[in-house]
Structure 1
Amino acid sequence: MAKSSYTLLFGALVVLALLASPIACTRKLAKPNKHRRPTHKPGVRARSNHTATPSASDARGDAYGSGGWLSAGATYYGAPNGDGSDGGACGYQTAVGQRPFSSMIAAGSPSLFKGGKGCGACYEVKCNSNTACSGQPATVVITDECPGGVCLAEAAHFDMSGTSMGAMAKPGMADRLRAAGILKVQYKRVPCKYSGVNIAFRVDQGSNPFYFEVLIEFEDGDGDLSAVDLMEAGCGTWTPMVQNWGALWRYNSNTGKALKAPFSIRLTSDSGKVLVANNVIPAGWKAGATYRSLVNYS
């Protein structure tokens, strides 16, 4: 009888340990949802024309910090003085025409877009191949993908907004440069610098108490992300989010219970730098709302 009592007591302790374990707050990776990634389409209306403010440094094509200029091709799409596309394959939507992107954007070839992992990366692009070229670099952000056609003719290609293409021209010669067709350009990776702007987390309209999807934008430094993790309230453990498409990342519950906010989000940049935005998504968050962090990469 004593042995049987010990067995029952041990079994009860095991059950209690499992109920209290952090396993209770781990989540299964979400299945792909019904959202379709937008395709790169030319021919949209013009937007405001400002100068973007990412800072420059000596850089390689895929990671800034050392190295020189690389060769690429360049074209432009959309309105001559516009922002290229309203949205695009990164999911930034109308933000591409507003500060801090300010229409200084480009759709990147697959080598630059990197399946969406290149969204938000900053590059300097300059040209000397046409009499309208100033030889001075324009800084652009990858906000879209150019998946075929001329964008596959070279190792790298920038399909630029009309605004960013014109920024490479001599004064008064922007239209002539845009009419040049396919340009030979030079480019290099540079750190992004959005003065006075912290990272933004825009909650997707399809999010609900059991499914959370967020667009992440305006990261200083690398500008793009290699991994994103989320921690629910009271959980104490980080769970990887899944890149849905472009700059959108998703996370869902497999317990039948609602996700517990506030959420903290941990970002890992392209070069491996980690940044934590604690409790950035509040309790009572709303689908479609944008929440600003108090931090950014320095």
Structure 2
Amino acid sequence: MGHSLAVSCALFWNIFLFAITNVEANGWLSGHATFYGTNQDPATLGGACGYDSTIHAGFGVNTAAVSSTLFRGGEACGACYQVMCNYNTDPKWCLRGRSVTVSATNFCPPNNNGGWCNFPHQHFDMSMPAFLRIARQGNEGIVPVVYRRVSCKRRGGVRFTLKGQSSFNMVMISNVGGSGDVKAAWIRGSRMRRGTWLPMHRNWGANWQSSIDLRNQRLTFKLTLIDGRAIVFSNVVPSTWGFGQTFSSRNQF
């Protein structure tokens, strides 16, 4: 019986190694991962996407800054990736068979000197809690990974944080499910003509702007996600809103 168990374990392990070796044929891509400083609060890693706190934005602590190839000028903000350390390539530092789903909340800038975040590298600079889900701390904190885009599973509704002043409106959009990343956004005030939408422009990261005074109006948003899905959030913001407040839809879509 012991021999049979050993053969079964060996067979399983060979199948697992074959799967890791051939992941790119099954929607997985190759890259590398590092981690943020050991003493850094993972909730603060909203950086280039403009999230004041990854907890407040709905993403938790499993987050990552991604290289320019993945960041796409901010389009990736909120996107979800399943990341697995490539044990077949680095069995010393990778945890066998472990994966973690991270949200892209920051930009890992290139140093133009052969750094891991330089173009065209596909790189994840992960929060330490996320990194330790798939790898041991060591080897200068650099491990080979395989990754793929996955649908974002969010708790609660989509969040709209209002910033700006008078006729300059900037809205941080976060906690978006589905593909997670917003391609286009529109806004409509309750006193605007029915059916009229004002296009918003990406200011930076997950922050979208418009240049019209919409104070004392109920606000409705329309979003188009990277996957092509279009969603309308009717009157998600009441007319009593003020700058600095966050409002959430009742559900995702």
State the TM bucket, normalised to the shorter chain: 0.7 to 0.9
Report the equivalent of 1:158: 124
Partner of 1:87: 46
Question: Which residue pairs with 1:147 in the alignment?
Answer: 109
Call closer, same or farther: CA 1:293–1:269 in 2, change over 3 Å: same
1:1-298 correspondence to structure 2 within 5 Å: 67-79=26-38, 82-83=41-42, 85-94=44-53, 96-97=54-55, 100-127=58-85, 128=87, 129-134=90-95, 135-148=97-110, 149-152=115-118, 154-169=120-135, 177-181=136-140, 182-195=142-155, 197-204=156-163, 207-235=164-192, 236=194, 237-253=196-212, 261-297=217-253
Gaps of at least 5 residues in structure 1 are: 1-59, 170-176
Cα deviation code 1:175-206 (max 9, x no counterpart): xx2222221110000000013x10010112xx
Residue 89 of structure 1: how far off its partner (Å): 0.5
Alpha carbons 2:57, 2:159 under 8 Å: kept: no
| In structure 1, C-alpha distance between the alignment counterparts of 2:39 and 2:93, rounded to whole Å | 15
Q: In 2 relative to 1, CA 209–168 (structure 1 residues): closer, same or farther, beyond 3 Å?
A: same
| Letter aligned with residue 153 of structure 2 | K
Tell me which structure has the larger Cα radius of gyration: 1
Aligned Cα root-mean-square deviation (Å)? 2.3
Q: In structure 1, the residue corresponding to 2:125 is in which secondary structure? A: strand
Deviation at 1:86, TM superposition (A): 4.1
Match of 2:249, as an amino acid?
S
- CA apart distance, 1:223: 0.4
2: CA distance between counterparts of 1:210 and 1:90? 23
- Contact 2:51/2:57 (8 A) holds in 1: no
Letter of the structure 2 residue corresponding to residue 202 of structure 1? T
* 1:192 partner letter: C
- For 1:90-126, what per-residue CA distance to the aligned partner results, in whole angstroms no more than 9, with x for missing partners? 11122x2468422100000012111111000000111
Tell me how far apart the structure 1 counterparts of residues 238 and 57 of structure 2 sit (CA, whole Å).
25
Q: Which amino acid aligns with 2:144?
A: K
Instruction: Note if contact 2:219-2:234 (Cα within 8 Å) is conserved in structure 1.
Output: yes
TM value normalised by structure 2: 0.80
Contact 1:80-1:163 within 8 A present in 2 as well: no
| Amino acid of the structure 2 residue aligned with 1:227 | A
Aligned residue for 2:160, secondary structure, equals: strand
Instruction: Tell me the SS of whatever aligns to 1:112.
Output: helix
Following TM superposition, by how much is the alpha carbon of 1:68 offset from its aligned partner in structure 2, in angstroms?
1.9
Q: Distance in 2 between matches of 1:126 and 1:81?
A: 23
1:76 maps to amino acid: F
Residue-by-residue CA offset, 1:16-53 (whole Å, 9 max, x unaligned): xxxxxxxxxxxxxxxxxxxxxxxxxxxxxxxxxxxxxx
Structure 2: which amino acid aligns with 1:286? G
Secondary structure of the residue that 2:103 maps to in structure 1?
strand
- 1:167 partner letter: R
Structure 1: distance between partners of 2:139 and 2:55: 24
**How many Å separate the matches in 1 of 2:119 and 2:167?**
44
Deviations 1:37-78 (A, max 9, x none): xxxxxxxxxxxxxxxxxxxxxxx99xxxx9421000111112
Tell me the matched-pair count: 220
User: Cα offset for 1:295?
Assistant: 3.0
Q: Secondary structure at the match of 2:240?
A: coil
Contact 1:201–1:217 (Cα < 8 Å) also in 2:
yes
Q: Is the 8 A contact 2:218 2:239 kept in 1?
A: yes
